Copies of this chain bind each other. A is one copy, B any other.
Amino acid sequence: MPRPSTPLLSPDRIRSTALAIIDRDGLDGLSMRKLAAELGVQAASLYGHVRTKDQLLNDIASSILSTVDVSGFDVDWREGLIRCARSYRAALSSHPNIVPFLAYGPAGRDESLKRLDILHGALVDAGWSRREATMIAAGLMYIVFGSALSSFSSGFSADPADYSGRYPHLDRAHLLPGVARELDHDSFELALAAFVRGL
């Protein structure tokens, strides 16, 4: 195919298609060839619009992080922490398959740093030392990312035989997958509330 009259590709189209594949097939389900095929194009053509696959993932990650809202600190620092954490988790759990990639180096992304900066400043304004503010922000990230990895309830089997007998206290763990979403949410809320209350 020669140069088409109207371009088939654009960074935006590539990003949104890639994210759709990740949502559907998982992080490992995204390959440049599959992405290209879904766009009606050969793999090599993508590299005219995207520097590298890693960069593509970083751009997608940034666009997800840019939806995080940290504007709740004018009321109360506790309330600000809670709102920030909820917003962060909502952003991550809207595209859970990309979280493992995101969990590597969120601190280095501009979209993440901007929000971290606000959070840090608000905590210092509330009377915490700089070091304490850093640690509190870190702790909040632990809970957000730990819960967003959703490695917990969704990691259980739905087969009762996997638990009964061998794990006396987990005899109803096979019910977890059915309520995974709700339970993960409630566990996150509990952890968040306990953390903020305990500060």
Q: Which chain A residues have a beta carbon within 8 Å of chain B's beta carbons?
A: 100, 103-108, 113-114, 116-118, 120-121, 124, 130, 132, 134-136, 138-139, 141-147, 149, 151-153, 155-157, 163, 166-170, 172, 176, 183-184, 186-188, 190-191, 193-199
Contact = CB atoms under 8 A, between A and B. Distances in A.
A195 B136 CA distance: 12
B141 A151 contact: yes
A121 B195 contact: no
Contacts of A132: 190
Given A104-B100, A113-B167, A194-B195, A138 B153 contact: yes
A105 B198 CA distance: 29
A195 B199 CA distance: 8
The 6 closest A-B pairs by CB, nearest first: A142-B146, A198-B198, A139-B191, A107-B155, A194-B198, A146-B146
Contacts of A116: 167, 170
Most buried by B among A143, A147, A151: A151
Given A130-B172, A143-B146, A183-B134, A106 B191 contact: no
